[in-house]
Structure 1
Amino acid sequence: MRAGRLGVGVVGAGRVGAVLGSALRATGHAIVGATAISEASRERADALLPGVPLLEVPEVVERAELVLLAVPDDALAGLVLGLAEVGAWQPGQLVVHTSGRYGVSVLEPARAAGAIPLAVHPAMTFTGTSLDLARLEGCTFAVTAPAAVQPIGQALVVEIGGEPVIVPEETRGLYHAALAHGANHLVVLVAQAAQALEAAGIEKPGRVLAPLLSAALDGATRAADAREGVGPGAISALTGPVSRGDVGTVEEHLAVLADLAARTGATDIPDSYRELARGAARRALASHRIDDTAAQALLDALGGPESAGRSTPS
């Protein structure tokens, strides 16, 4: 099902809005206006949405059959309500936001005015350049909408090369927390590993990490799709000393990372190692990679509540 040729207004020509606007334009939709406050946004609009007039928000909404709201999460509710208070929303108008955090409840003021609410979130990071357009191909988009209009959201996603998945309103927060935990904390983890490698004398830590982490990520995501290691607590793709129950190696890791923290102030690195290794130990036990005795020995070495004389969860 196609959503039809629409006049699209982009509210927020940031990294996401400008790219999605450009992708919609490439499929035949007309971009009737966009907002761009910062110099970076104006330059981005000029590059990705050439010829599109830069307007004030109410004028963009007035011109558009589909309003694409690509604004920060914390600004979304106030923007939608403010536009409702000035009578900007129009009956039958599609209102699509790109926030991962929210479903369609945040669009209630627009819906009350007769607009059709859709939440469409791309599960990828954006550079705000034309490079993102190719990366949209095969990208998963979370679609949350009233059942009657879900096909419209799905059609918009398919048109720009994405793969829609329906996320219920009540689980939207959990969906977004999962993505943030995986992607954002992966970046932190890589930065921590790179810092430790630099301290070990490795000149280009990214080159060392890339093949190792790429293989680990590929194995972990394949296992997730095969539902191996998704639950309850299992992790079939795990490798390394925790998965083997090598307590001595883990203890050495803790010692050298504590020394690194003392020399550099990077106390977050041993803290992260301990917390993630505890999770790895619990999941290795659930996967039957290690037995109860090995798991308890690891948790004792790592510290934490499990080491305080309590039994290890199975």
Structure 2
Amino acid sequence: MTTQTRRHPIAGNWASLLLPIADDDTIDFGTLGTEIDILIAADVDGIYSNGTAGEFHNQTETEYDRIQDMLAGRCDAAGMPFVIGACQPDPIIMLNRLRRAVPLKPLAIQVILPDWWPLTNPEAIEFLKRVTDAADGIPLILYNPPHAKRVLSPSELADVCGPCPSVVGIKLADGDADWYAQTKRHLKEYALFIPGHHLATGIKQGIAAGAFSNVACLNPRGAQLWTDMMRTDIETALQIESRICAFMDDHIVPFRRDHGYSNAALDKLLAAVGGWGPVGTRLRWPYRFIEQRAASRLRGTVTAMLPELFPDASD
């Protein structure tokens, strides 16, 4: 475990940039620009591109560059912090994506461990060292989600990230009381980003810096208000969290558990349920998506269960 202090001020409620996919499987860049403007107007803590919900695994390099250029240009003009995901299962493609992201000067760049064949710890360290060199001083966030080929424990994450001082943050799933104890022991020097619907618990535990948030997929402004509440009224924020989790468990998770839809499909469903923007539920071929009518059925349910997340709702 490293003893170097590297905690980065990146924190809070980060909204995912979701790709609007047209019926012919192209990216609707006009709608993407509108989405970025809506997220900026929601005054979220930041916007990030090319996470799982951003379908980083299913876009060309020309499309990748255009997405990042659009995000950086609009965010720079508005003074909005942004993080670019250079993620790609192929390490060479990922490294090249990162190099092309560096001139855009994001607050940080997110990477994953190469994912076709799981890396050993020494291989992961070597990978992150080369990524660090290519990042040219821009901080890195390691994304190690539950669906990664290899999900590292808190101690393994410390072993892998410790020799690479540019890795200042980690996006990961949280766990039980033992997970929190291990995380406090091994990862206290890192800005940790846990699932959005558990953020109040992570804040109370003194572990979470923030979330690249599925709650922001549901309503970016509402998620920001809830995040701000955690600084002044954590108990009320925890009570809202319990209702967020109940909504997710009862109405969103069954689409994955019972019907096999991907996490990206669920996040786009959340955005459609929230009704805050023109993204739509469609994923790019060959991935299945949830029909828009499912979102329409759930809209009344979510506003009744979570009125705090919908401050502008008229009813």
Q: TM-score, normalised by structure 1?
A: 0.34
Q: For the pair shown, which has the larger CA radius of gyration, 1 or 2?
A: 1
Higher relative contact order (CA 8 A, sep 6+): 2
Q: Which has the higher helix share?
A: 1
